[in-house]
Chains A and B, each alone.
Chain A
């Protein structure tokens, strides 16, 4: 039929027809005896709507029909659905709800089919919610909102019963939760806000309570961890059966957290004062178990890592205190202060080894523990002990192990192992360049005075350092070792030269070690007035060396030389091993019986400091080769000295020790000077390649470049930048004072 031939259907008429269909639908859903809706009936209903919507105004009833659609649903809910739900409780209510929801969905589906024409045109034209949405919204606003709290509570109590081990209707729970999900029509909000939040809260409370019950009166219930593990397993199983998968991580985290914090508050609570309580084997076992359980959730390990850090710090601080006390005692007694330093370093190294073993073996080698370890040791190793830095102490420690006659009696394996540990500890020290300088100085003494216990160990240590910190680290020291080797070869050539040239014979056995200036620590050379015998030696060697190399300049460092002198004492002739300085002083007495301080000083051409030191060693120390007048304990410029012909000792040959000058201050100064150059060079390098760079960026890159050797101080960097600005290497940008520009 053509549209314009159609008869107008008025609203009341049309609606009456619709009502019949709707009624039938309701009855079917209520379970009342009805036949199904036949095809013809459906067609009629559909066409009625169609016609009513396509009539010409004022008979286009789209709007009214849209509203009536919703009204029918609302009416049905109010009259039938809600009452039936309100009268039921607990599980029965849940079942009813599931039923009603299913019914509602069916109803909406059918009605939407009847009213479908509205969906196609009217709704789109007016941007209104589609029929399906309207239908579900009705249920949500009228049923869901009223019952959601009640429903949620019932569900959660069911879940708790399940946790207690009771059998529950899992399918029912799942169906209810599906309602929470579907009611959002694509959004998770209703599920999360109206159910999940309450679930998490309840679960936390549940486990908190449960866990407290497990903690027994004795410490560290070992079953706890097993129970905790079991709980988590069960929760996971439950979750997979009825909760939405998105709840899993949230729930598990909550549960884990509760289980942990109950335990932790017991662990770190007032009952457990002091960290010493913590690390007996029994407790370490428990800690280890905790780590295993919580290893996947690093934030839970925070309290543990803090404990580790604090424990290391406490033990470390105790060692420092011990050492400083020992130092104080020794100083008061004026005894040799060396021993406490050795003991201290040894203990720190052992402390480190102990905790590394812990972390590796007990704490799953977990990265957060390694971090905690690193932070704690960095803090410890960058302090000072009684005025000395750990860099210094560590270098001294190495010296003690590597030199002859050391107080440490260690096997070869022990030495190797200890050196390994030293290198590991060195990684924590910021001032690595300071360590290098001290180590280098002591290495120099060992090499030059033939005090190395074992060449293999020396080489091995250098290799370890090179391996850990790079080639630059050990460049100079390897140069030193090479110099010594070359010196030996050189010596052989020199001896050949002397034997082939009788005129060139110095008359004394002479050994010369040539040092390459850059590799060795800097030594001051004084113009010592050599005894005549030695002058010839120097001459001869100079000639020899000229033949070998023409373009090198030799500077003689007499302060490092040693001399064997034959002392013709009355009781017996003895060999004296002394330094060149001491020898020069003694040889003066070949031509004079008695000399004053000033005469000696003038003849030797040395400073007061040096003269005092060397005369002290010859007249006031263990071996009194010279007699001093007056016979006091210290050297005064008014003293007079005489050869002590009566001197003797049970040994045939003795070494007269000359204590070295304490060069510590100088070492530190030199290191600071080198740092200034290093910072300068680094800044220039960076700016040259970047051309323009911001201040903070520059500082960061500078620290990055230098941190392998030392940790540059921010102020030091700033100062160098300013110095470079003054020297026209850089300029500050006119508009942005935080920006620097490289000036080519």
Chain B
């Protein structure tokens, strides 16, 4: 357990900001305290990694999840990936692993599991959440040069990322997406627009929604559709 004195070493007071630069804090803290940890983190990595590729692959992740007693489709795994800044869905590189676990101060599976509630809180902070929301979209872009995600997957992603926060909006929007035919895919701009929509627009009356502003067209259509439904 790190003693509080080392935290203060050489850091300006305001450096403890609200996002993953917490990991920078730890990284730039005196290295002697982290070397034992790093060793354990690396060992943990090798237990899940695939020998030939040197990466943790989907199987490895599934194993990790089962060890943590968390479903691999749980949003908290996505949050861990965010913390790691993992780039490729389904895979963790050793750097990403180190980054994530160091910042979570976890070098064992149980510590990792215990870190999850705190991680959730961190992600849900408004300033982080926008970043997390954007990250989750990018994480799903599997092909090179892919810029949008198909409706089916988006519906699942919406449920995963925003379901607990904006249940009603997500449910209705998903229903809309499934019934409409104008759009076959959703792009990043629309994805981010939806989060803004949930944050700013009163639901379900939409009384402060103004289609003449720069809301993505799909949301204009969604509001129209909702209004028609409500009669």
Is B217 engaged at the interface, CB distance under 8 Å to the other chain? yes
A719's nearest neighbour on chain B, judged by CB, is: B217
A740's nearest neighbour on chain B, judged by CB, is: B214
Q: A715-B217, A715-B220, A737-B196 are in contact. Are A722 and B212 (CB under 8 A)?
A: no
Chain A residues near B190 (CB, 8 Å)? 722
Q: Are A696 and B189 in contact (CB under 8 A)?
A: no
Q: Residues 62-85 of chain B: 1 if any A CB is under 8 Å from the residue's CB, otherwise 0?
A: 000000000000000000000000
**The one of B187, B196, B212, B213 that contacts A726, using a Cβ cutoff of 8 Å:** B187
Of residues 51 through 109 on chain B, the ones whose CB sits less than 8 Å from some CB of chain A are none
Is B163 engaged at the interface, CB distance under 8 Å to the other chain? no
**The one of B148, B189, B220 that contacts A732, using a Cβ cutoff of 8 Å:** B189
Is A725 engaged at the interface, CB distance under 8 Å to the other chain? yes
**The one of B148, B193, B217, B220 that contacts A737, using a Cβ cutoff of 8 Å:** B193
Q: Are B217 and A696 in contact (CB under 8 A)?
A: no
In angstroms, how far is the closest chain A Cβ from the Cβ of B182? Answer: 9
Chain B residues near A714 (CB, 8 Å)? 211-212
Question: A726 CA to B147 CA in the complex, in Å?
Answer: 8
Is A568 engaged at the interface, CB distance under 8 Å to the other chain? no
Question: A694 CA to B211 CA in the complex, in Å?
Answer: 14
**Of A696, A739, A740, most B-chain CB atoms within 10 Å:** A696
A728's nearest neighbour on chain B, judged by CB, is: B147
B187's nearest neighbour on chain A, judged by CB, is: A726
Q: Residues 698-723 of chain A: 1 if any B CB is under 8 Å from the residue's CB, otherwise 0?
A: 01000000000000001100110110
Q: A725-B189, A726-B147, A732-B189 are in contact. Are A696 and B216 (CB under 8 A)?
A: no
Question: A555 CA to B196 CA in the complex, in Å?
Answer: 53
Chain B residues near A694 (CB, 8 Å)? 214
Q: Residues 197-231 of chain B: 1 if any A CB is under 8 Å from the residue's CB, otherwise 0?
A: 00000000000000111101100100000000000
A699's nearest neighbour on chain B, judged by CB, is: B212
Chain A residues near B147 (CB, 8 Å)? 726
Q: A715-B220, A718-B220, A726-B147 are in contact. Are A737 and B214 (CB under 8 A)?
A: yes
Chain B residues near A212 (CB, 8 Å)? none
Question: A213 CA to B66 CA in the complex, in Å?
Answer: 97
Question: A740 CA to B213 CA in the complex, in Å?
Answer: 12
Question: A715 CA to B216 CA in the complex, in Å?
Answer: 10
Chain B residues near A695 (CB, 8 Å)? 213-214
Question: A740 CA to B189 CA in the complex, in Å?
Answer: 12
Question: A718 CA to B189 CA in the complex, in Å?
Answer: 13
A732's nearest neighbour on chain B, judged by CB, is: B189
In angstroms, how far is the closest chain A Cβ from the Cβ of B214? Answer: 3
**The one of B196, B211, B217 that contacts A722, using a Cβ cutoff of 8 Å:** B217
Q: Are B212 and A696 in contact (CB under 8 A)?
A: yes
Q: Are A726 and B217 in contact (CB under 8 A)?
A: no
Chain A residues near B213 (CB, 8 Å)? 695-696, 738
Count, chain B residues at interface, CB 8 A: 14
A727's nearest neighbour on chain B, judged by CB, is: B147
**The one of B148, B187, B196, B217 that contacts A718, using a Cβ cutoff of 8 Å:** B217
Question: A451 CA to B220 CA in the complex, in Å?
Answer: 49
Chain A residues near B196 (CB, 8 Å)? 737
Q: A726-B187, A726-B189 are in contact. Are A732 and B217 (CB under 8 A)?
A: no
Question: A695 CA to B189 CA in the complex, in Å?
Answer: 15
Q: Residues 677-703 of chain A: 1 if any B CB is under 8 Å from the residue's CB, otherwise 0?
A: 000000000000000001110010000
Question: A719 CA to B190 CA in the complex, in Å?
Answer: 12
Question: A740 CA to B214 CA in the complex, in Å?
Answer: 9
In angstroms, how far is the closest chain B Cβ from the Cβ of A635? Answer: 36
Question: A726 CA to B214 CA in the complex, in Å?
Answer: 15
B213's nearest neighbour on chain A, judged by CB, is: A738
B130's nearest neighbour on chain A, judged by CB, is: A734
B221's nearest neighbour on chain A, judged by CB, is: A715
In angstroms, how far is the closest chain A Cβ from the Cβ of B199? Answer: 11
In angstroms, how far is the closest chain A Cβ from the Cβ of B15? Answer: 23
**Of B148, B189, B213, most A-chain CB atoms within 10 Å:** B189
Question: A25 CA to B148 CA in the complex, in Å?
Answer: 99
Question: A560 CA to B77 CA in the complex, in Å?
Answer: 66
A739's nearest neighbour on chain B, judged by CB, is: B214
Question: A510 CA to B151 CA in the complex, in Å?
Answer: 58
Q: Residues 281-320 of chain A: 1 if any B CB is under 8 Å from the residue's CB, otherwise 0?
A: 0000000000000000000000000000000000000000
Question: A719 CA to B220 CA in the complex, in Å?
Answer: 11
B212's nearest neighbour on chain A, judged by CB, is: A696
In angstroms, how far is the closest chain B Cβ from the Cβ of A553? Answer: 34
B148's nearest neighbour on chain A, judged by CB, is: A726
Q: Are B220 and A722 in contact (CB under 8 A)?
A: no
B193's nearest neighbour on chain A, judged by CB, is: A737
In angstroms, how far is the closest chain A Cβ from the Cβ of B149? Answer: 13
**Of A694, A695, A715, A737, most B-chain CB atoms within 10 Å:** A737
In angstroms, how far is the closest chain B Cβ from the Cβ of A288? Answer: 42
Chain A residues near B216 (CB, 8 Å)? 718, 722
Q: Residues 11-24 of chain B: 1 if any A CB is under 8 Å from the residue's CB, otherwise 0?
A: 00000000000000
Of residues 171 through 203 on chain B, the ones whose CB sits less than 8 Å from some CB of chain A are 187, 189-190, 193, 196
In angstroms, how far is the closest chain A Cβ from the Cβ of B197? Answer: 10
In angstroms, how far is the closest chain B Cβ from the Cβ of A46? Answer: 74
**Of B147, B193, B214, most A-chain CB atoms within 10 Å:** B214
Question: A533 CA to B190 CA in the complex, in Å?
Answer: 61
A718's nearest neighbour on chain B, judged by CB, is: B217
Question: A258 CA to B166 CA in the complex, in Å?
Answer: 60
Question: A695 CA to B211 CA in the complex, in Å?
Answer: 11
Question: A499 CA to B11 CA in the complex, in Å?
Answer: 97
5 nearest A-B pairs in the assembled complex, by CB-CB distance: A695-B214, A718-B217, A738-B214, A725-B189, A719-B217
Residue positions of A touching B, CB distance < 8 A: 694-696, 699, 714-715, 718-719, 721-722, 725-726, 732, 737-740
Residue positions of B touching A, CB distance < 8 A: 147-148, 187, 189-190, 193, 196, 211-214, 216-217, 220
14 A–B contacts, CB within 8 A, in A order: A695-B213, A695-B214, A714-B212, A715-B220, A718-B220, A719-B217, A721-B214, A722-B187, A722-B190, A725-B187, A726-B187, A737-B193, A737-B196, A738-B213
A721-B214, A738-B214 given; name 15 further pairs at CB < 8 Å: A696-B212, A696-B213, A699-B212, A715-B220, A718-B216, A718-B217, A722-B217, A725-B187, A725-B189, A726-B148, A726-B187, A726-B189, A732-B214, A737-B193, A739-B214
